């Protein structure tokens, strides 16, 4: 959040301490203003740590594909909704696993790793 955005929320930058376990406590007004639930995403950018809320309701872009598959599988009504929620809840875990596998391949000393190596379904 930039200084201009903080002004929008009438918040001033704050200095917060880091515990011996590398933990921080977010000021309550930041927590409430950003509607943070139980997870945040940390990103390093230009020598800064950006902490942004993870919104469980945020569309990951896969909703349309999930729904199409479920409809093709014959689900409808309440069962369709139930299965949709179930599959959508697994996307973040699957994405984390893909990233972990891609990182492992990227760390490989082989100079010939290709995008196909990382994203190939059979690999």
Task: For 2-41, give the DSSP string.
Answer: -HHHHHHTT---------TTS-----HHHHHHTT--S-EE
- Residue 116 scores a pLDDT above 80: no
Residues 6+ apart with CB under 8 A from 24: 16, 17, 18
Distance CA 28, CA 33 (A): 8
Place of tokens 């014959």: 74
Q: What is the pLDDT of residue 74?
A: 95
Angle, vertex CA 1, rays to CA 3 and CA 13, nearest 5:
50
How sure is the predictor about 118, in pLDDT bands with cuts at 50, 70 and 90?
Answer: low
Q: For 39-85, how does the pLDDT look when each residue is reduced to its tens digit (9 = 90+)?
A: 888 888 888 998 888 875 556 677 888 899 999 999 999 999 899 88
Q: Nearest-CA neighbor of 50 among 34, 38, 61, 37? A: 34
Q: What is the pLDDT of residue 19?
A: 94
User: Residue 110 gets which letter from DSSP?
Assistant: -
- Can you state the angle between helices 63-72 and 77-89, rounded to 10 degrees? 130
Q: Which of 4-8, 53-57, 85-89 has the lowest mean pLDDT?
A: 4-8
Residues 6+ apart with CB under 8 A from 60: 88, 91, 92, 95
Q: What is the pLDDT of residue 60?
A: 61
The pTM is what? 0.42
Q: For 23-40, how does the pLDDT look when each residue is reduced to its tens digit (9 = 90+)?
A: 999 999 888 888 888 888
């Amino acid at each position: 959040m930039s200084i201009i955005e903080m002004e929008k929320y009438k918040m001033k930058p704050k200095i917060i301490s880091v515990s011996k376990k590398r933990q921080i406590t977010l000021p309550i007004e930041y927590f409430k203003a950003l509607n943070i639930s139980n997870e945040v995403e940390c990103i390093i950018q230009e020598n800064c740590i950006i902490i942004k809320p993870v919104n469980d309701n945020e569309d990951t872009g896969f909703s349309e594909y999930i729904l199409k598959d479920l409809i093709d599988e014959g689900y409808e009504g309440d069962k369709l909704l139930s299965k949709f929620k179930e599959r959508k809840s697994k996307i973040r875990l699957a994405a984390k696993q893909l990233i972990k596998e891609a990182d492992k391949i990227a760390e490989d000393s082989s100079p010939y790793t290709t995008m196909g190596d990382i994203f190939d379904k059979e690999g």
